[in-house]
Structure 1
Amino acid sequence: MGKKRKQEEEGTLKDLLQDDLVKQLQSKKADLKKQEEQRKEEEKQKRIEERKKREANKSFEELLNESELDWKSFKK
C-alpha cells in the first residue's frame, strides 16, 4: 500500500508541475503576442511619420507631377 500511495503522490506532483509549466507557457505566449502587436504598432507609426516627412519635403515640381489635375485643360 505504501508504494501505491507514493505513486499517487508522484503522479499528483507531476500533474502540478505540468499545470504550472502550461500556465508559464501560456503566460509567455501572451507576453510574446503583446510584444509583437506593440512592435507592429510602432512600425506603423514610424511609416506614417516617414511618409509625413517625405510629403513635407517634396518640391513644387514633385507635387505638380503627382497632381491629378490636367493643367492643359486650363490653357486657352
Structure 2
Amino acid sequence: MAKKQKQQRQPVRKAETEKESVRLGDFLNTDILQQLKQKQKALQEEQDKQQEKQRAEELERKKREQREREKNKTFEDLLKESNLSWKDFK
C-alpha cells in the first residue's frame, strides 16, 4: 500500500478574505434593497399585532375563567375566604 501524503493547508490571510468577501447588498439594486427592508418592517409589524392579539385573547380567557370560578363557589369556599370573625360580633 502506498502512503498518502497529507495536503498542507496554507493559512488564509485576513486581508485576502476581506477583499474577497462579497455581500448580497453589493449585488442588489438600492431600490430592491429598500423594498426588502420595507417588506421586512411590514412583516415585523404584522407579527407584533398578531402577538398582541394573542395576549389580549389570553387575558380575556383568564378573566372569563376567573368569573366562572367566582360564580361556582360554594358557601364553604366563601366562608373560608372571608376575614370576618364571629367573635367581633359577639
Match of 1:33 in 2: 48
Question: Which TM-score applies when normalising by structure 1?
Answer: 0.77
Decide which structure has the larger Cα Rg and report it.
Answer: 2
User: 2: CA distance between counterparts of 1:71 and 1:31?
Assistant: 57
Q: What residue in structure 2 maps to residue 59 of structure 1?
A: 74
What is aligned with 1:49?
64
Instruction: Encode CA deviations 1:16-35: one digit per residue, 9 max, x unaligned.
Output: 11101000000001001101
In structure 2, the gaps of 5 or more residues are 1-25
- In 1, Cα distance between the equivalents of 2:86 and 2:41? 61
* Aligned residues: CA RMSD: 1.4
Q: Percent of aligned positions with the same letter in both sequences?
A: 36
Alpha-carbon distance in 2 for matches of 1:69, 1:25: 59
Higher relative contact order (CA 8 A, sep 6+): 2
- Aligned partners of 2:62, 2:86: CA distance in 1, in Å? 31
More helix by share: 1
Offset of residue 38 of structure 1: 0.6
Aligned partner letter, 1:43: E
Count of residues in Structure 1 that have an aligned counterpart in Structure 2: 64
Structure 1: gaps spanning 5 or more residues: 1-10
